[in-house]
Amino acid sequence: MLVLSGGHAGAASKDSASKQSCAACHSEFSSLLPKAHPPVTGKDVTACTKCHAPDKEAKAKPKPYAARLHLSHAQPGAEVDCLACHTWKPGKTLGVKGTKANLGVLSKEGMEETKKIFASWSSSKYLDAHHGKKNVTCSACHEGKVPEQGDSVENARCLACHGDEEKLAKKTEPKDFPDRNPHKSHLGTVNCTVCHGAHKASKIYCLDCHKNFNMKIPFGEGPQAKPAAGGKAK
């Protein structure tokens, strides 16, 4: 679990943020929790981290607790500072209150960049926000490290959730032109990120050469855009 709250946060000072409690906004918690969830009596995130410890293995799988917590506090207009839930020594350590977890090193510049990344993950029109809606957090793709500008994701990380290359190729094989399969390229294995952008529009690499191909991609822009499942192209 990579826990970094407050996509648009930062208004509060470090001292005031460190004293923030959930009770400042929530008079009770029962309505926010699943029906079978035990009662929560604490006033800050340590009431949660007693049971919801960070995922040290950073497995490539959905993490409902971390995802929902961040999504609810990282929406545009949210005023929750990261330090309401996190401990942070700029350039040294980033942790989670109530745990001994060390999520890595984050500079002041890195913290501001991370807030922008979380803002995109929570509400963009790109693949990152689609993952957010599926409860997939940053650590599921970035192997537990604090994401930074320019980071990429290895194919094995994508395939851990989406199945092997053979299954993907079968799923995307065109009926009319089977050889025009984006997941079975004549170039061999291609990095997923060549086409699939997380924090930006996705783009079909094949069309750089094969400009006459009629191909669409989810979360793309312009002629390449394909409606995501249950949605419309934008």
Read off the pLDDT of residues 45-99 as tens digits, 9 standing for 90 and up: 998 998 998 887 888 999 999 999 999 888 887 768 889 899 999 999 899 999 9
* Long-range contact pairs involving 132-138 (C-beta distance under 8 Å, separation at least 24): 132/67, 132/70, 132/71, 134/62, 135/62, 135/63, 135/64, 135/67, 135/68, 136/61, 136/62, 136/63, 136/67, 136/161, 137/1, 137/2, 137/63, 137/66, 137/67, 137/70, 138/2, 138/4
Q: How high is the mean pLDDT of the chain?
A: 85
pLDDT band at 231 (very low <50, low <70, confident <90, very high): low
Higher pLDDT, 73 or 148: 73
High-pLDDT (> 70) share of the chain, %: 88
Res 31: pLDDT:
85
pLDDT of 76 reads: 80
The per-residue pLDDT for 42 is 83
Domain ranges of the chain: 14-142, 159-226
Cα-Cα-Cα-Cα dihedral of 116, 121, 127, 131, to 10°? Answer: 160
Summarize the confidence of residues 106-125 as an average pLDDT.
Answer: 90
Span 138-158, average pLDDT: 84
- State what percent of residues in the chain have pLDDT above 90: 51
Structure-model confidence comparison of residues 196 and 31, the more confident one: 196
What is the per-residue pLDDT for 233? Answer: 47
pLDDT band at 232 (very low <50, low <70, confident <90, very high): low
pLDDT band at residue 9 under the 50/70/90 scheme: very low
Q: In the predicted model, what is the mean pLDDT of residues 187-210?
A: 94
Q: What is the largest CA-CA distance in the chain?
A: 62
The reported pLDDT for the residue numbered 227 is 79
Smallest CA-to-CA distance from 121 within 75, 157, 158, 69 is with 75
* 228 neighbors 219 (Cβ within 8 angstroms): yes
8 has a pLDDT exceeding 50: no
Q: Is pLDDT at 43 greater than 90 in this prediction? A: no
pLDDT beyond 70 at 20: no
